[in-house]
Amino acid sequence: MNHLISLRDRPLTQLVLARLREFYREPEAVFWVYGFPILMIVALGIAFRNKPIERITVDVETGPRAEAIVDALSKQEKFVVATFDTASCRVRLRTGKTDLVVSAGESSTPHYDYAYDPTRTESVLARNAVDDALQRAAGRQDAATVADRVFDEPGGRYIDFLVPGLLGMSLMGGGMWGVGFAIVDMRIRKLLKRFLATPMKKTDFLAGMIISRLVFMVPEVLALVGFARVAFGVRIYGSLWAVVALVLLGAGAFAGIGLLIASRAKTIEAVSGLMNLVMLPMWMLSGVFFSSDRFPEVVRPAIKALPLTLLNDALRAVMQEGASLSSLGLEVAALAAWGTVTFALALRWFKWS
Amino acid sequence: MPLAIRCSDLVKRYDSRPPVEAVRGLDLSVERGECFALLGPNGAGKTTTIEILEGLLAATSGEVEVLGLRWGLGDDEIRQRIGISLQETRLADKLSVLETVTLFRSFYRRGLDPSDVLRRVSLEDKARTWVSKLSGGQKQRLAVACGLVGDPELLFLDEPTTGLDPQSRRQLWEIIRGFRQQGRTVLLTTHYMDEAERLCDRVAIVDLGKLIALGTPRELIAGLGGEHVVEFTLESGPATRAITSDELSNLPAVSEVRVEPDRVSLSVSEVHVALPALLDRLRRLERQITDLSTRHASLEDVFVKLAGRHLAEAEASSA
């Protein structure tokens, strides 16, 4: 009998259609899913593109040779120099208002004391820059000539690193909220219970949720990748199909996780709490804004196993380095496993009322 | 042909603290083609019972058969053949009426054309309207339409008219009557006595999880011993004492006397016999009537007699 039913009248088709209609008829949801990632790219792209010249704040302790130091440093635009007494300098250093405090010795041969916190990157940079400037002022000659070449070619900039991360993050947020909220809302409305009272198959319902999620995601990904291309010239170095495959795998994995999280939650508050519990670590650890390689060696395997890390690493490998899907077998398999295992568990634990 | 519904010694206990017995040993048989009401106040166990029969809740103990089949053995088969409207379902706001019914239609192997169903519940003009834009009565008719679209043999309706205005209630009654006239079976729950009386062939009155009376509305009312009720209020001053039921008990054609704080009501078989005798008795007792009325007995009177309290009191105490 089943093959005689037209595709349109099948329960799975109808469930997917219903979800799509509900989604596109809700303007706020459309904005949060499609508009938000783009706003984020714009904000971050602007923040990191038009970087002004890095300023270095240096305090000079009052003393007989203070003026000479100030003169020497003021020749370079990057130094912001001011003079304070010893106590004030100490306070300013402690509270992070200045990067470095310079004081001159009393002896006739030039001598400088540098006070700074060696764990602060800016302070270390300041110390080296100031030292370089003062040594030259004292007459040091460079042994070799050097030339600086600025590297900001597409593919290697921060924005090129950021876009795959934001893509992964938006797939995570969209998948989990999109599926999780919709399900809890239906449970509160007793719509799930109403469906249970029909001959509808559980698998049709849950698969319908995931498939509709995969469909919503198409414009989301196109908007994000297209915008990054047009506005910032972010290119995809690997194959477009590899990106499509990874995006589908990632969205499927997060929809599965969303389904699992929502499988028993009875209130919007409960599901929000659980979502945040699951997503927060991934926002911080999975390399959205900076590489997850910065975390200590011991925790890295655990971070690497998180679905967002897998997705981000794989997307970056394809988009930035032009890697092929076959070289990403581990990531692909692990993402597929996240999707199928969570779907199977959700199917088992799902509560309809 | 097996019965539409049969259940025996149905018990549902919730393991809360203290444990709550929502249903305590209920027996029911619903024939094919009848409209059957479970009548009782809120908290009587009606919804628990109907949800067990619908296969949405598991009974603690007892046997249930629906269309000759048992839950747990032929679930899909039963669900293909029954239709349901839950006590409260908020269908998806952003779907249209027709889209909603079409979605429900897709779950059934056989069924009716969604547009035909909308015509049956008089929502054909609203086919393209979003669910969120419907009135309460229209939403309820849509909920029933979702139950009808699988062309069920048996329809379960949990409080189908609660909270609706009188006109919407009548519209729903017409839909239910139309379904029943096709020879199909309806089981509904209600706490409206008039609804059960007008709509249903048989009524089971339940209170506190137990069956307290079963029969046609006519049989139940006849069981009171009088089909009429005479109610009156006596003039009272600071010195007057309340009248006792003994003082009125042996009046002709009066089968029962109930003295309540604000009025007295009598179950009467023949009003023209009882009334002159009553007035005569009160004159001899030197009591003045301030208010007197007679009416036909209703299921409310049956409930009062059996449960010892009015439905409104039962609702208040359960709330």
The minimum CA-CA distance between B196 and chain A, rounded to whole Å, is: 24
B-chain CB neighbours of A190 within 8 Å are: 86, 88-90
Cα–Cα distance, A343 to A256 (Å, whole number) = 5
Band of residue B86 on the pLDDT scale cut at 50, 70, 90: very high
Cβ–Cβ below 8 Å for B109 and A1? yes
Residue A168 and residue A277 share a domain:
yes
All domains of chain B in start order, with CATH: 5-221 (3.40.50.300), 225-296 (3.30.70.930)
Hey, what are B254's tokens?
Answer: 């009066």
Q: What distances in angstroms separate CA B267 from CA A213, B146, B200, B226, B235, one per listed residue?
A: 65, 44, 24, 5, 21
Q: How much of chain A exceeds pLDDT 70, in percent?
A: 95
Spatial contact of A238 and A324, defined as CB atoms under 8 Å apart: yes
CB B254 within 8 A of CB B314: no
Same domain, A280 and A321: yes
Please check whether residue A238 lies inside any domain of the structure: yes
**In the predicted structure, residue B40 carries a pLDDT above the cut 60:** yes
Q: What is the pLDDT of residue B47?
A: 93
Average pLDDT over residues A188-198: 94
What lies within 8 Å, CB to CB, of B271 at 6+ separation is B228, B230, B253, B294
Q: Which residue in chain B has the smallest CA separation from A16?
A: B103
**Where is the domain boundary, A102, A137, A172?**
A137
Residues of A in contact with B80 (CB under 8 A): 199
- Structural contact between residues A325 and A237, judged by C-beta atoms closer than 8 angstroms: no
With CA atoms as reference, the chain A residue closest to B131 would be: A22
Residue A10 contacts B, CB cutoff 8 Å = yes
Residue A273 lies in a domain: yes
Count the alpha carbons within 13 Å of A328 in the hemisphere toward its beta carbon. 27
Q: CB distance from A351 to chain B under 8 Å?
A: no
Q: Do A194 and B89 touch (CB under 8 A)?
A: yes
Q: What is the pLDDT of residue A76?
A: 84
User: Which of A137, A162, A180 is at the close of a domain?
Assistant: A137
Do A132 and A176 belong together in one domain? Answer: no
Q: How many CA atoms lie within 13 A of A63 on its CB side?
A: 20
A4 within domain boundaries: no
What pLDDT does A168 receive?
93
Residue environment code for B7-30, b if the CB has 16+ CB neighbours within 10 A, otherwise e: beebbbeeeeeeeebbbbebebeb
Most trustworthy range by pLDDT among A36-50, A140-154, B93-107, B235-249: B93-107
- For residue B108, give the chain A residue with the closest CA: A199
A43-49 contacts, C-beta under 8 A, 24 or more apart: A44/A159, A44/A162, A44/A166, A45/A159, A45/A162, A45/A228, A45/A231, A45/A232, A48/A157, A48/A158, A48/A159, A48/A162, A49/A159, A49/A232
Sorting pLDDT into bands at 50, 70 and 90, what band is A66? confident
Q: Which of B92, B119, B88, B121 is nearest to B104 (CA)?
A: B92
Q: How confident is the model at residue A1 (pLDDT cuts 50, 70, 90)?
A: very low
Q: Is A197 within 8 Å of B86 when comparing Cβ atoms?
A: yes
Cα(B214)–Cα(B218) distance, rounded to whole angstroms?
Answer: 11
- How far lies B200's CA from each of A8, A17, A180, B138, B177, in Å? 39, 39, 43, 22, 9
Flag whether pLDDT at A272 surpasses 80. yes
| Residue among B44, B69, B48 nearest B58 (CA) | B48
Interface of A with B in 15-44 (CB under 8 A): 15, 17-18, 21-22, 25-26
Looking at residue A315, its amino acid is L
Specify whether A97 is located in the same domain as A192.
no
Q: Å from A36 to nearest chain B CA? A: 23
CATH of the domain at A84: 3.40.190.10
pLDDT tens, residue by residue, B216-255: 998 998 888 778 999 999 887 776 777 888 888 788 888 8
Contact check, Cβ <8 Å, A189/B105? no
Specify whether A32 is located in the same domain as A66. no
Looking at residue A212, its pLDDT comes to 92
**pLDDT level of residue A49 (50, 70, 90 thresholds):** low
Closest by Cα among A57, A141, A138 to A99: A57
Residue B207 and residue B292: Cα distance in Å, rounded? 31
Q: Tell me the chain A residues in contact with residue B86 when contact means C-beta distances shorter than 8 Å.
A: 190, 193-194, 197
Residues of chain A with Cβ-Cβ distance to B95 below 8 Å are 18, 21-22
Q: Which of A15, A22, A198 sits opposite B94 (nearest CB)?
A: A22
What is the per-residue pLDDT across A73-124, written as a single tens digit (0 to 9) for each? Answer: 888 888 889 899 989 998 998 888 898 999 887 777 778 889 998 888 888 9
Minimum CA–CA partner of A15 in chain B: B103
Full-model pTM: 0.80
Angle (nearest 5°) at CA A37 between A36 and A39: 65
The answer to whether residue B269 scores a pLDDT higher than 50 is yes
Task: Report the share of chain B in percent with pLDDT over 90.
Answer: 62
The per-residue pLDDT for A29 is 77
The answer to whether residues A226 and A311 belong to one domain is yes
Q: Identify whether residues A217 and A111 lie together within a single domain.
A: no
Is residue B211 within 8 Å of B27, Cβ to Cβ? yes
**A336 and A226: one domain?**
yes
pLDDT at res. B312 = 63
Domain assignment of residue A286, yes or no: yes
Residue A256 lies in a domain: yes
**Which residues does residue B242 pair with via DSSP β-bridges, in sequence order?**
none
Amino acid identity of residue B199, one-letter, is L
Please tell me which residue, A220 or B99, carries the higher pLDDT value: B99
Q: What is the CA radius of gyration of chain A?
A: 28
Asked if A127 and A187 sit in the same domain, the reply is no
With cut-offs at 50, 70 and 90, classify the pLDDT of residue A28. confident
Supply the range of the domain harboring residue A189: 9-48+153-349
Chain B residues touching residue A9 (CB < 8 angstroms): 105-106
* A75 and A112 in a common domain: yes
A146 within a domain of the structure (yes/no) = no
Question: What's the number of domains chain A is made of?
Answer: 2
Burial of B160 by CB count in 10 Å (0-12 exposed, 13-18 middle, 19+ buried)?
buried
Residues A195 and A81 in one domain: no
Q: Is B108 on the interface with A (CB under 8 A)?
A: yes
Tokens of A253: 């994995």
Asked if the Cβ–Cβ distance from A197 to B106 is below 8 Å, we say: no
Strand pairing class (B154-158; B82-85): parallel
In a 3-state reduction of DSSP, which class is residue B173? helix
Residue of A nearest to B95 (CA): A22
* Pair A211, A321 in one domain: yes
DSSP string, B259-271: E-SS-EEEEES-H
Out of A84, A103, A137, pick the residue that ends a domain.
A137
